[in-house]
Amino acid sequence: MYLDKEEEKMLESENETVSKAMELLVTLGKMFKAERLVKIKSAHISGISYDNIGDPGLEWIESLNARVSVPTTVNPAGMDLKKWKEMGIDERFYEKQIRILKALKNLGADLTLTCTPYYINRPSFGDHLAWAESSAVVYANSILGARTNREAGITSIAAAITGRTLYFGLHIKENRMPTVTVKAKGNLAAVGYIAGKELRGEIPYFIFEKKPSEWELKQLAASLAATGSVAMFHAEEITPEFRDFDVPKEIVEVEGKLEKECNADLIAIGCPHASKEELEEILKLIGDEKIKRELWIFTSRRIAEESIDLVRKLEKMGAKVYCDTCMVVSPASDRFKCVMVNSGKALHYIPERRKCEVAFSDLKNCIRIAKTP
């Protein structure tokens, strides 16, 4: 694999963290037959909840002795940094999580603690990235026209330190070609959940009944990534590159009809993290009727701070707005029997990672249930 002089210098660096980061990329590059590395505009690190990585991950992150060389954002932690006690997080977990975050800060990462980094630093068309959050990868490729593969947490850190990632996969134009046409109907979170399972390894070209909202596309992206490891889709008049390729002749139809029920004692919204527009929609759906069950809404701290009036109104109606975390990566969800979500991603991961049942419906019905005693 070709390395330029700067890359060779990093490989031979006396700084062990830098040399190991480059060595990791070179080893993977040979494995995936990448001809070279490519400079990236940003990195996004996933898997930083103590609930996910435990003591081994904590110790490894604390052992790193370098600084990131590109803007680097970070995925949700296992708790709200300010309301962790309210969430039911114990002090030991809090202390371990804080150590992880301090280590990431020492690397120079921006502790955004969100799975929607594109709301904070929006990539431009054609930018090469090294992002490890699966839903954000699909969003960046499909809606923004940036270029990123689905990085692992470790490779995203290596990429952040070196400013490079492997030039293969979706960084190469011809590999971004759609392979199957999907006529989508109904709830797009459910469409993504179903299509991901059916179209594993494909790049779908979506045709929608009507133009979806931004947050519907975000939910579609998250579901596809969760159930099918899909890293990109095309959609007419949405994906910047949709005219660059022929529409696939193979056509499948997917109806987003997916209802999973249980008696929810927690309704959790914000996987991926809610935008300001979603917070507005939730407040509108709540109306004048107070929340009767636990309603947790997850968003990034920056969105919450920019939407403080909205947050206060939601909390006045009985909702709880949490930042820095979500229902999937936080052990706070474990004390509930059934969590109701409007997210295909949460529907897929909660049974794997949390000690509770999961119910699924659209946002409107989730809020209706939250207002029901």
Q: Average pLDDT over the chain, rounded to whole?
A: 96
Alpha-carbon gap, residue 254 to 250, rounded angstroms:
13
Alpha helices in 64-119 (DSSP H): 84-87, 91-107
Domain ranges within the chain, ordered by starting residue: 5-171, 177-256, 266-370
Alpha-carbon gap, residue 366 to 271, rounded angstroms:
14
Q: Would you place residue 259 in the very low, low, confident or very high pLDDT band (cuts 50, 70, 90)?
A: confident
Residue written as token pair 């507005």: 280
Residue whose C-alpha is closest to residue 329's, from 62, 121, 114, 158: 114
Half-sphere exposure of 57 (CA within 13 A, CB side): 17
Please check whether the domain covering 5-171 is classified as CATH 3.40.50.300. Answer: no
Structure confidence by residue, pLDDT tens digits, 62-104: 999 999 999 999 999 999 999 999 999 999 999 999 999 999 9
Structure confidence by residue, pLDDT tens digits, 334-371: 999 999 999 999 999 999 999 899 999 999 999 999 99
Structure confidence by residue, pLDDT tens digits, 29-61: 999 999 999 999 999 999 999 999 999 999 999
Detail the DSSP E strand segments found in the chain: 37-39, 42-45, 72-74, 129-131, 164-166, 180-186, 204-208, 234-235, 251-256, 266-274, 294-299, 320-323, 338-341, 357-360
Structure confidence by residue, pLDDT tens digits, 301-330: 999 999 999 999 999 999 999 999 999 999
The answer to whether the pTM exceeds 0.85 is yes
Fold entry, domain 177-256: Rossmann fold (3.40.50)
What average pLDDT score do residues 267-272 get? Answer: 98
Beta-bridge partners for 164: 39
In this structure, CATH architecture of domain 266-370: 2-Layer Sandwich (3.30)
Q: What is the pLDDT of residue 258?
A: 85
Q: What is the pLDDT of residue 262?
A: 86
What average pLDDT score do residues 120-136 get? Answer: 97
Residue whose C-alpha is closest to residue 368's, from 342, 345, 332: 342
Residue whose C-alpha is closest to residue 329's, from 79, 110, 21, 12: 79
Q: What is the pLDDT of residue 344?
A: 97
Alpha-carbon gap, residue 266 to 366, rounded angstroms:
10
Q: Do domains 5-171 and 266-370 have the same CATH topology?
A: yes
Q: What is the pLDDT of residue 56?
A: 97
Residue 189 · residue 169 · CB < 8 Å: no
What average pLDDT score do residues 1-15 get? Answer: 97
